[in-house]
Every structure is written in C-alpha cells, then in structure tokens.
Structure 1
C-alpha cells in the first residue's frame, strides 16, 4: 500500500518511495521532490528568469533582427510578441512539476511511455547541448576581449589555430571549466548562483548602452535609424520566421520548466514568478540590445550584432572590462540554468542507475563542444532562421503531445508511482506509447520538412521538402498544433491512459 497525500494547495506528495526505489527507472534525482522540500519562492523564479534572460544570446536575438533589416520598433514588437506566446505552453507544462514534484523527463513518461520519454528528453537534451556550446563560446569571446584590453595586441593577434586565435580557444576552455566546477556541486549550487548574480547581470548591458548613447549623441540618432524592410511584404516575409525564432529561443524551457517548478512552494509562486520574470526581463534585454546595436551602427557605420565584438571597438578599456565581466557572469548564470540542468536530468533519465546530475552536466559540456557552436554564430540568418527555426518546430511537436496529454487527456491527474514502474500504467507497448511517437514525428515533419534559407545555407532555397516550404515560416506553431491534433485523434477511442485508478487523495487517505 502506497500513501499519496495532497496538500491544501493541490501539491501531491508520494511519502514512501520504497516500492519504486529498486526500479531501474528510479534514482534520487529523478524521484518526486517531497512537499516539505518544495521551497522556491516567487523571487527565486523571478531571479531564475533574470539570470536566464540577461545573457549574450538573448542580446543576439534583438541585435540579429536589426542585422536582418528591422528598425527598433519592429524588432521590439517581434521579440515581445514571441515571449508572450511562448509563456503560455511554458506555464501549462510547469503545472505538473509543481503539483507532483517531478522533472520534465519523468513527466514525459506519462505520455510517451517510461522508455519512450527518452525520445522527448534526448531531443531536448541535445538542443540544450547546442545552446550550452553557444553560450560557452560567446562567454569565451568575452573573456578573450577582456584579457585583450588588458594584455594588448599580443593576446588579440596570437597565432591562428583552426580559424581562430589560439588565445580565443584558451578563453573558451577556461569558461567551460568554470561552469563545470559549479554544476559538479549540484542543483543547490545552481540556485545559489542564480540568486547571487540576478541583481548584477544587467550591469554590463547598461554600461554598454550608456557608453553608446553618450558617444552617439543620445536617443535621437539611434531611434531615427530607418527599417531596411519597411512595413510591406519585405517585412512580413522576415517577420514570420523571425517570430518563430523568438518563440523557439525559449521552446526548450517551455518543455523542461518542470525541472525547476518541481521545487515550487506553490502553483501561485511559480506562476507569478514566471509571469513577472520572462516577459519583463526579455523585453528589457531586447530594448537594450536594439538601442546598443543601432547606436553602434551610428558610431561605426556597421551593424555589429555581437556585443563582445562591439565592445572591442570601444576606446575605453575600463568600460570594456567592467561591461564584459558582468556579461560573463550573466552568461554563466543563464547557461547553468537553461542549458545544463535540463540535459543533466535527461541523460540521467536515460541511464538512471549510471548517470548522476553532475555526470549529466559533464556529458552536456562535452557534446556542447563537439557541436562546434562557433559555426552556428557565424551569421544572423543561420542563427535565427536556421538554428532557432528548425529546432523550434521539432520541440513544438513535443510540446503539443505533452500539453494535449496532460490537460485534455489526463486532466492533470497522474499516477506518480507508475511513472517509475516497468509494466505499470505508463508502460504502454514495451515502454513506448505509439500514438505519442507518431504524433511527434508527424508534427515535426510538417513543421521543419520545408526548412529553407534564402542563401541556401544551411538549408536548400526550395526547402528540404519543397511543398512544405511555406509551413516552415510558422514551424513552432505548425509542430505544436499538428502533434496535438494527431495525438488526440489517435487516442479518441481509448480511455484516458494517464488517469490513475483513483484520484490523488487528501492527507491521511491511502491509494492502493
């Protein structure tokens, strides 16, 4: 007999893990967090989002739109709208984490199957590895520029290895090691680092903005920079895929927020922490990036979308060093929270008895280097329309299955013990839920099958599958909607597979 209790605010607690502790699908880090240990506050989630949003790749979102030809109004509108849209699935998936205390890969077991969840988890994990590499590369660039301003031309003009100065490779390695040292200390070290850096991470961006404003002569010259696209067909052609890119930027977190909300003190705390955190912090970094990039165009005559490259053009070494030190802290904070926590759990989910949280973080770090992130950042079009647009469509399909499964099929009710059991309610067909897999494949193919690029890089101009080309401009929406509909259709004649034999009960009642 297992005892499941429900607190007054709806959070479910599995008090006794003895019946599942010996399962090969269980380990201490994947286990449901006891209600007594779910103590994250509204500020913890706000600080988490401030730490995740205020980083160089977030800056590159806005500056990249300027590089693609938008003016400041168009870029700000695109980013703000994208973040409001992605907040919806993020909150929908966050609910399960807070209610049951389970991380994303365990949550996914309820709909993909105990084994099938590895597909959803590893898709998310490998994309996170790519992001880890990107963040580490831009952080290494910042360290490279900082030392260059202090050490002089010898550092900046060192001998070239594999297309980059050897000192840049050294900076990249140092930044990688710093992050591994923090993640090796576990999840609590990540939370403390987030809380400490959150109030400080805005400093670097503000210093750069103020410097540019002073040098450019105020807001006037910056805000008067015209759009190269206008408001006609040229703009709307760029807007649709760019909006999908903005949504895709946080599509990863829209899946794995249960990794963080499992520690939530209540649904209300995680809900308001995210409502106050994501839109406000992303809007702030967007306007700072837009103004700074536009100001750089006024000063230097070029649109320099990389903040480290822009800072290297500043004449004041003090401004460069102080700004980029703050940006390094910001990037570490964002990388740990957004791109190490999730894949650490995901890899642990694939091999629960062999891979711990720390080992999962190390795997993430290694794959992040192998992906060669410097190539993804070589061009704004590749970064936004290639990298973001493609993986956004794939993850949109996964989100479609989870949201429709949890809210429409299971009606938010999950049998927690069976998430860790072989042969239980979520075993389906040998551990795989075929309808969920089919829905994900169909949604992903429709979303990204038509992947194309005007330059022919990295995708053909006519699309991978030409007749799906137009759908790629709306990749995330197509993936989410198509997967949801297919999943619900395939399950239309079956009973609710996720509903346990009896409801989660009030404290003191027993579930057999």
Structure 2
C-alpha cells in the first residue's frame, strides 16, 4: 500500500522510533534527570502527612517501600523505550489500537500538562518571593507566564538540552536539600523535639500513606519510555539487567532514595513547626542571600521536574493524537497552554483526590502495558505496523476492545477502591487484558510477532537492529549493515512514499 506521509496521521518525526545511534543520554545523564524530577515541593507534603500519624522511622520505611515498588514498575515499562526506541503513545497502539491509543494517551497528556501547571505555579510563587523581597513588587501570574515560557523553550530544544540543565541542577538540588535537613533538624532541637521519638496525633492508615506515595509517580510509571528511548543501551544483549544497566541507578536509587529524602525533609519540618513546607518555614525565619538562594532552589526544582516528567510526556501525547499536523515544538506549546487552562492553583487544594483518581486509572494502563509487552508479545513488536493505518494494530476500526475493556473495567474498580487503587488496578488490568487477548482478539486478529513463534526479528536493540523510516518506508537497519529492502514477512503492507 502506498501513501504519502503527510496524509498518514500516524507519522510525525518526533514519534518515530529512536535508533540506537541517536540515543545520547548516558547513565549519569539519566540519573541527573531523575534527581531533577524527584526534588519537588509536593514530595515534602507526603512526609509531613505521614509523620503526623506515625513515627519518623515507620513513615520513611513505608514511603521508601512505595517508591521502590513504583521504581520496579518503571524498570519494566522503560524496556519498551530501551529495546525499541518507542514512545509511550506509539507503543499503546499495540494494546489499544491505532485510534484507541488516543483515549489513555491524551488522558495522560492532560494530567501531565496539569502537573506542568502545578509545578510552574509553585516556581512562580518562589520567583515572586525573590523579586518582592528585592523590589517590593508582587505579581505571581506575570512570573508564571515568564517561567512557563522559559521551560517551554528549554523543552523545545530537545532531550540534550533537558539533560544539560539536569546535569547542572542535580548537584545544586542535592546540596541545598542536605543543608535544609541540618537547618530543620537544628530548628527541631531548639524547639525541644527529637525527630526520632516524635509521634503524631493523627491516625492516617499506613496503607493510605503507601498508596498516596505510589500514586505520585503512577503517571511516569506508564510513560517512562518517553525518556528511556533516549538512553544509551548495551546492544546485542537479551539479558534485561545488562541491556538496561544505564537506567537502574535512576529508577532504583534516584527515584526511591531521593524521593524518600524529600519526604524526610518535609517530615522534619512538620516535627519542628507543625508545617510540612520547609520553604515557608525558612522564608519566615531567614532573609538576604539565604532567602534568595532558597527560593532559587524552588524555581530550579520545579523547572528540572517539569521538562522531563511533564512537558515531554504531554507533548508526545498531543503529537501522537494530532500527527502530522502537530509538530514537536507546537506540541510543547500546546502542553503549556493546556496546563495553564487546568488552573493548577485550584488543583493544589484537592491534590490527594486528584492523585487518587488518575493514579487508579493509570494503574490499569500499567497492567495492560506490562501484560502486552512481556507476556502477550514477549518483548517483540512489529514496528512498521504501528505506523500502518490498515495493519495488524487496526483491530476493530482502529480500536482494540481488549485494551479498552480492560482499562475501563479495571480502572473503574480501582477508583471504586480509591484507598488501594494501584494495588487493584494494575493486576486487574493485567488479568482482564490477558484473557481477552488470548481467547478473543488474537484468534480473530492475527499478530505477526506472536504467529511467528516470537521470532527474534521483532526485537530491536537485543539483536542489533533498528527500524528506520525512509523515503521508501520502513527498513530494517543492522548496526553493521543496512538492510536495503523492507522485510515483507515482518511488514506485509509497508508504509511507503511515492
């Protein structure tokens, strides 16, 4: 079948697979990106809320366990990016269909955009505090617009620009966070409080604390391929741990340990003053360069979180939905506009409800993705067909009923049990999707990678090959040689250009 690329709404340059030679972010760069992601004001609140009901030690163990659990989910999802160079939105064409993918992906994109708005709002408040202190002039919305514009431009410049900023920001964020710990610990001692013997008077269940912290990263747990597709990979290796060695430090150290440390600071702030927000505490007790430096930390923290965790996922979601009319740069702008339109300053008043609902819905998507990738397809994927309008992922008029039914049913049940949403939604989505695919969809809609008895030709990095989009459609490219013609057995209806 021959089509022109500008008539194919499945193709846009920024959502094509990233080839191995174009993966430029190393282990340190990815670690730095994650340091920037996890250092954010919202994390302080989770520590304060936990220690208000339990001892500091118990609170930290529960929070660390939650972050470690979601880190493992991320490791599994990230393999979609490291193996095939695919974005979250494009991969979901396999379990949801080429049209069905837009439902979960755009939903996630709107949530990511809303988070962008929340983080930008918090950063704008910090900027406003600096300039109000220096000049007496106060206008947080002006700083919101300017701060949003700077982040949008940074993200427009691509993943290398995001990585460079993260490399600069990471040591600054860690250093100031450590200083903040000693400052707050001293404040607690002055107030006669021992942080390790303090026990709060509230009675929030540990399970609810665990689930709240888990939900904080529920969104990135599903769309982490948007970032991992840029990570340098040890090619020609089918062993999961060796192939993904550059992502382990970020997902198993930066995410759980540093996130827990941010919660730890919030907990100490609560013990010392009854307020979980150390920024407010220090702002009330300090001035001069200390105050300016602290508020600068807030700004950098929101910036470093926003670019990788919120703007890139939202952008790729919108590009996938509106390709080829929506370019990557236009998608970044749209993400900023949508994030502002959600009025994030109002969402903050209902943050835990917000986290619970979207965490429950996305937990089902995580279960479906993991089932589809590891169990149904065994990491194989027919890359060219993901960009084919009438290919194997069309299913029923572009929708895969298995994915949609599993998402709606598992997501609804997860939200029904909001306090344990993620623990319900992920396994339920996994099981429902597996049964529907195994006994309904696969017999009716043949899947080449499965019918081939999981041929290794449907792998990518593991077998030293990429799928590259050219003027003649998709071609397989070995790292040591280029396959000049599209393999008809893999792509019976290759996308081509006249």
Residue 124 in structure 1 maps to residue 95 in structure 2: no
1:221 aligns with 2:221: no
1:418-476 CA-to-partner distances (Å, cap 9, x unmatched) read 01001111111111101110110001110113xxxxxxxxxxxxxxxxxxxxx221011
* Aligned pairs for 1:218-297 within 5 A: 221-229=194-202, 234-235=203-204, 238-266=205-233, 267-295=244-272, 297=273
For residues 83-94 of structure 1, the aligned pairs below 5 Å read 83-94=67-78
Q: CA deviation at 1:338?
A: 0.4
Matches within 5 A, 1:13-412: 23-66=8-51, 68-151=52-135, 154-155=136-137, 167-217=139-189, 221-229=194-202, 234-235=203-204, 238-266=205-233, 267-295=244-272, 297=273, 303-378=274-349, 382-384=350-352, 386-412=353-379
Is it true that 1:427 corresponds to 2:394 in the alignment?
Answer: yes
Cα distance in 1, alignment partners of residues 147 and 278 from structure 2: 17
Matches of 2:447 and 2:277, distance apart in 1? 46
Q: Secondary structure at the match of 1:52?
A: helix
Structure 1 pair 258–432 and aligned structure 2 pair: CA distance change class (3 A)? same
- Determine the C-alpha separation between the residues in 1 that align with 2:78 and 2:284: 42
Aligned-partner Cα distance in 1 for 2:413–2:180: 42
Deviations 1:92-114 (A, max 9, x none): 11111111111110111111111
Alignment check: 8 A CA contact 1:87 1:254 kept: yes
Contact 1:248 / 1:392 at 8 angstroms: preserved in 2?
yes
Q: Counterparts of 2:294 and 2:124 in 1: how far apart (Å)? A: 14
2-structure distance, mates of 1:171, 1:306: 21
CA distance in 2, matches of 1:197, 1:272: 18
What residue number does 2:470 align with?
A: none
Using a 3 Å threshold, how does the CA distance of structure 1 residues 210 and 271 change in structure 2: closer, same or farther?
A: closer
Task: Tell me if the contact between 2:266 and 2:277 (Cα under 8 Å) persists in the aligned partners.
Answer: no
SS in 1 for 2:439: coil
1:492 is paired with a residue of what secondary structure? helix
Deviates more, 1:497-506 or 1:398-407: 497-506
Q: 1:19 Cα deviation (Å)?
A: 9.6
CA contact (8 A) 2:151 2:307 kept: yes
Instruction: Tell me the C-alpha RMSD between the 2 structures.
Output: 2.4
Contact kept in structure 2, 1:414 and 1:498, CA below 8 Å: no
Q: Partners of 1:61 and 1:184 in 2: how far apart?
A: 32
CA shift in 2, pair 1:359/1:395, >3 Å: same
Distance in 1, matches of 2:368 and 2:268, equals: 39
Is residue 92–residue 369 contact of structure 2 (8 Å, CA) maintained in 1? yes
Alignment coverage as a number of residue pairs: 447
Over residues 121-158 of structure 1, what are the superposed CA-to-partner deviations in whole Å (9 max), with x where a residue is unaligned?
1121111112111111111121122223333xx44xxx
Which one is further off, 173-182 or 429-438? 173-182
TM-score, scaled relative to structure 2: 0.84
Give the Cα separation in 2 of the matches to 1:499 and 1:484.
Answer: 21
Gaps of 5+ in 2: 234-243, 458-462, 464-477, 489-498
CA distance in 1, matches of 2:313, 2:245: 23
Deviation at 1:315, TM superposition (A): 3.2
**Residues in 1 aligned to 2:78 and 2:5: alpha-carbon distance in whole angstroms:** 24
1:472 pairs, out of 418, 425, 429, with 418
Please give the residue correspondences for 1:407-486 in structure 2 after superposition, counting only pairs within 5 Å.
407-449=374-416, 471-486=417-432
Tell me how far apart the structure 1 counterparts of residues 291 and 7 of structure 2 sit (CA, whole Å): 54
Deviation of 1:499 (Å): 4.4
More deviation, 416-425/175-184: 175-184
Cα distance in 2 for residues equivalent to 1:327 and 1:498: 49
* 1:511–1:417 distance in 2 versus 1, CA, 3 Å: same
Residue number in structure 2 paired with 1:15? none
Deviates more, 1:364-373 or 1:141-150: 141-150
